[in-house]
Chains A and B, each alone.
Chain A
């Protein structure tokens, strides 16, 4: 009889050695690379005369700095106007070439946000350890992999040694039971969880998401949930592997096939926590009680139901958080007690590694179909997560639905999720965004972000304010 959690199993199966100082050497199966956090790591290798331990464990694609308009993209590298961004992207190309690393470069139809591309290509597999110099690497946990973000010096360490020096985290289970209301999605689940846990509630834990509502999500929905585990402070989020997981992976370009598939599938079926598994902490939510969620502040935990209001800070918020909350409201230009439905929106962003997959785009398209963007909304853009997502959406005619409704249809990349390219939210503007961070200035200097699901963002584009998509 065993009582191991899925995290325990993944950890144990990759443990190379346990050191006396409490750290461990963990073997890494897959290392995903993008242009921003890798250049100094490659430079470090070169300076030390080292080569990657196993080049074929790595896989790269540029995303953060990539322009998203057709005219810029058609010029390839030359289309990147900021010289510093251009050098970063060109450097990734050169480093991958020099070190023999597979790259889907900016002219490759498979290019996209690294966390969208990994699963899409079958480079993310259940039971793996996966790292990337990016905090939203937690996304890949949706497939039953142990995945977390690392810093630049760790990127170099993984390249050189195929291992990470790590400390084991504690186990947390977040159970979401019951059934979701119509129009309520994975994004609303995870925002509600963060509202409950707080942005530091998961610190020091690996969170496994389970329960009926999580099981009934598609794999893409599970990715949305795991993507934001880091916003609750947990470096890694996980969902157990089930038949949906196997169906999702089968036939993808880098997934095993033939005999190897059979072998893999039988191993992956065991990737779940044992019945008697011991968690250090368990949180339970009822799916039926979750409304569409909207963040109103500058941290993902500052979240409310679309039908709710901003809290009265002096009465409803814990003392030690009040100053922080007041500051957030001042930045957002909003008032205590204001109804969420009264917030006026200037901009809509549908994209990012949280919500830019085909199901997200379908969900948004269904809401805007045959309608028109509100006059008061200045910019509404839809940015697919990868070239292949874009292609698929176009095959389904989603691009036309968006364009006819007055939304812009862009090329794949991180875009206005962090505004490292030219897609920037103006100062003082309110944006309904399907991304994952609403920090000050995240989408552009002075910009005001409200995190929502794709359906909520789409409805906000039509109405110029937030409306409850669960009653549409």
Chain B
């Protein structure tokens, strides 16, 4: 997993509650054998006017000009601002894969669906829960100020505003540690590589017959 460094970037406002994983990435894209390449189909049913298919050439599809993702002023946004219960629905890990592949690194919302919230950390995304009043005021600022950027400092657990203001946020210590160091489950287990190697050497010595598949 990639490390989460401080992020500075444009904020994209998705003004909608209960965005489910089918909204984030519709089910027909789950047939893919990859975990990358989902970015072009992020929010597919709202971003395009036709029905998306896994093999379609997305550059030729009709665009929904009204959908926020298609507005030029939010191009290349890194931070997603949204409403309650973001990521509800199925447990598909394709949802964080799609957000990540599109380029988002941080999601700000008053609340998240549980499984989605966990899946984000497994994939190097930072979901931040903020008080709904703060979310409300951020929506107002983003709309009022073209080019509105935030910088998110995970180490300090603070979001810095363009005007110098700061918003503190909470995160579980172990999750912070994993994100900062780019550790996923595999990364953590590999932290015990020496133990595994010792076990393996001993096992190979006592049970060499398990090491014969060539």
- A: residues with CB less than 8 A from B are 16-17, 25, 27, 29-30, 39-40, 43-44, 47-48, 50, 53-54, 56-57, 59, 83-84, 87-88, 91, 102, 123, 125, 127-128, 153, 156-157, 160-163, 165, 254-256, 260-261, 263-264, 267
Q: Which residue of B lies closest to A56 (CB)?
A: B213
5 contacts between A and B (CB under 8 A): A25-B189, A40-B34, A83-B55, A128-B210, A267-B209
- Would A165 and B185 be within 8 Å (CB), given that A102-B213, A256-B209 are in contact? yes
Contact of B213 among A40, A161, A254, A261 (CB under 8 A): A254
The reply to whether A25 and B192 contact each other, CB–CB distance below 8 Å, is yes
The reply to whether A43 and B209 contact each other, CB–CB distance below 8 Å, is no
Task: Tell me how far the C-beta of A184 lies from the nearest C-beta in chain B, rounded to whole angstroms.
Answer: 36
Contact of B35 among A27, A29, A43, A54 (CB under 8 A): A43
Contact of A16 among B195, B208, B212 (CB under 8 A): B195
Closest 7 CB pairs between A and B?
Answer: A39-B33, A256-B209, A264-B209, A161-B189, A16-B199, A40-B35, A160-B186
Bound CA–CA A27/B200 (angstroms): 8
- Would A157 and B189 be within 8 Å (CB), given that A87-B33, A88-B33 are in contact? yes
Task: Tell me how far the C-beta of A328 lies from the nearest C-beta in chain B, rounded to whole angstroms.
Answer: 24
The reply to whether B209 and A263 contact each other, CB–CB distance below 8 Å, is yes
Bound CA–CA A267/B214 (angstroms): 22
- Would A25 and B33 be within 8 Å (CB), given that A50-B186, A56-B214, A102-B213 are in contact? no
Contact of A84 among B31, B122, B213, B214 (CB under 8 A): B31
The reply to whether B209 and A25 contact each other, CB–CB distance below 8 Å, is no
Bound CA–CA A156/B35 (angstroms): 12
The reply to whether A125 and B210 contact each other, CB–CB distance below 8 Å, is yes
Task: Tell me how far the C-beta of A166 lies from the nearest C-beta in chain B, rounded to whole angstroms.
Answer: 12
> Which residues of B from 188 to 214 have beta carbons under 8 Å from A?
189-190, 192-193, 195-196, 199-200, 203, 207-214
The reply to whether B200 and A48 contact each other, CB–CB distance below 8 Å, is no
Task: Tell me how far the C-beta of A61 lies from the nearest C-beta in chain B, rounded to whole angstroms.
Answer: 13
Contacts of B211 in A (CB 8 A): 56
- B: residues with CB less than 8 A from A are 1, 31, 33-36, 54-55, 93, 122, 184-186, 189-190, 192-193, 195-196, 199-200, 203, 207-214
The reply to whether B34 and A127 contact each other, CB–CB distance below 8 Å, is no
Contacts of A57 in B (CB 8 A): 213
- Would A153 and B189 be within 8 Å (CB), given that A27-B200, A127-B207 are in contact? no
Contacts of A263 in B (CB 8 A): 208-209
Q: Which residue of B lies closest to A161 (CB)?
A: B189
Contact of A261 among B93, B195, B209 (CB under 8 A): B209
The reply to whether A160 and B190 contact each other, CB–CB distance below 8 Å, is yes
Task: Tell me how far the C-beta of A158 lies from the nearest C-beta in chain B, rounded to whole angstroms.
Answer: 10
**Of B190, B195, B199, B208, most A-chain CB atoms within 10 Å:** B199
The reply to whether A17 and B34 contact each other, CB–CB distance below 8 Å, is no
The reply to whether A260 and B93 contact each other, CB–CB distance below 8 Å, is no
- Would A43 and B214 be within 8 Å (CB), given that A153-B185, A161-B190 are in contact? no
Contact of B195 among A25, A56, A88 (CB under 8 A): A25
Task: Tell me how far the C-beta of A30 lies from the nearest C-beta in chain B, rounded to whole angstroms.
Answer: 8
Task: Tell me how far the C-beta of B154 lies from the nearest C-beta in chain A, rounded to whole angstroms.
Answer: 20
Q: Which residue of A lies closest to B193 (CB)?
A: A161
Task: Tell me how far the C-beta of A276 lies from the nearest C-beta in chain B, rounded to whole angstroms.
Answer: 25
Task: List 14 additional A-B contacts (Cβ < 8 Å) besides A17-B192, A153-B93, A157-B186.
Answer: A16-B199, A25-B195, A39-B34, A48-B186, A56-B213, A56-B214, A123-B213, A157-B189, A161-B189, A161-B193, A161-B196, A254-B213, A260-B208, A263-B209
